[in-house]
Amino acid sequence: MIGRIVRPADFERVLATVQRSRSDHFALHHLLPGVAEGHLSSGGAARGPQPEGAGGELSTVSELIELVPVDDSAVKLGLVVPKRHAKRAVTRNLVKRQARAIFRAAAPRLPAGLWVLRLKAGIDRQRFVSARSEALGELLRQEMLELLARAERVVRSGAPARPYTPRRGPRAAPAPGGRTPAASGPGGAA
């Protein structure tokens, strides 16, 4: 049986790692079993600085932070299917249903840990007019199977999951006069 990732903190931990595999529509992240810091024992949000005069303790929020292990024997799946990439609920549900079925079938051979499948590109509504078309279902199924096979090879090779660091885009070209556009203020004065 495959478990589900439901806590936002778990999604954040997994998405903070480098993608294990990606395709035209999906990115797949994996976090190996181990111990992750920063989870609250109450499952709530961390308490920030207390305002002056706020004496006493709140009974609903715990300040104790404990180490929460990722279950070593379980494969847990989280799905991120945003509305901006799949506008129709029927399409989002199709993606989720197919992903769960594929992971359920692959669970015995997958390395344990937390897996997150993220839809990263929109589904072309011009090409797939029907949200439940056979062509769309087959495309998603094939793409997910290939993605999972590549990710499985990467994880089994022992490549460590590094934290994600975004690439910086090309630097702005200097404006005439040797100043960068951000350095010049109104009227061109620095």
- Residue of 24, 26, 139 lying closest to 81 (CA atoms): 26
Q: Do the domain assignments include residue 80?
A: yes
CA dihedral 96, 102, 103, 109 (to 10 degrees): -170
Amino acid at 106: A
Q: Do the domain assignments include residue 163?
A: no
Q: Which residue range(s) make up the domain with 28?
A: 3-40+65-156
pLDDT at 26 over 50: yes
CA 153 – CA 21 distance, rounded (Å): 10
**0.75 exceeded by pTM:** no
Helix (H, G, I), strand (E, B) or coil at 80: strand
User: Quick one: pLDDT at residue 7?
Assistant: 92
pLDDT at 124 over 80: yes
Q: What is the CATH number of the domain that holds 150?
A: 3.30.230.10
Least confident of 78-82, 83-87, 168-172: 168-172
Q: Do the domain assignments include residue 96?
A: yes
Q: Which residue has the tokens 């096979």?
A: 149
Top pLDDT among 44 and 13 is at 13
What are 106-123's pLDDT values in tens digits? Answer: 988 888 889 999 999 998
Q: Do the domain assignments include residue 145?
A: yes
pLDDT at 182 over 70: no
Q: Do the domain assignments include residue 180?
A: no
Region 114-138: what's the mean pLDDT? 88
Q: Do the domain assignments include residue 58?
A: no
pLDDT at 53 over 70: no
Amino acid at 97: R
Domain count, the chain: 1
Q: Do the domain assignments include residue 49?
A: no
Top pLDDT among 47 and 13 is at 13
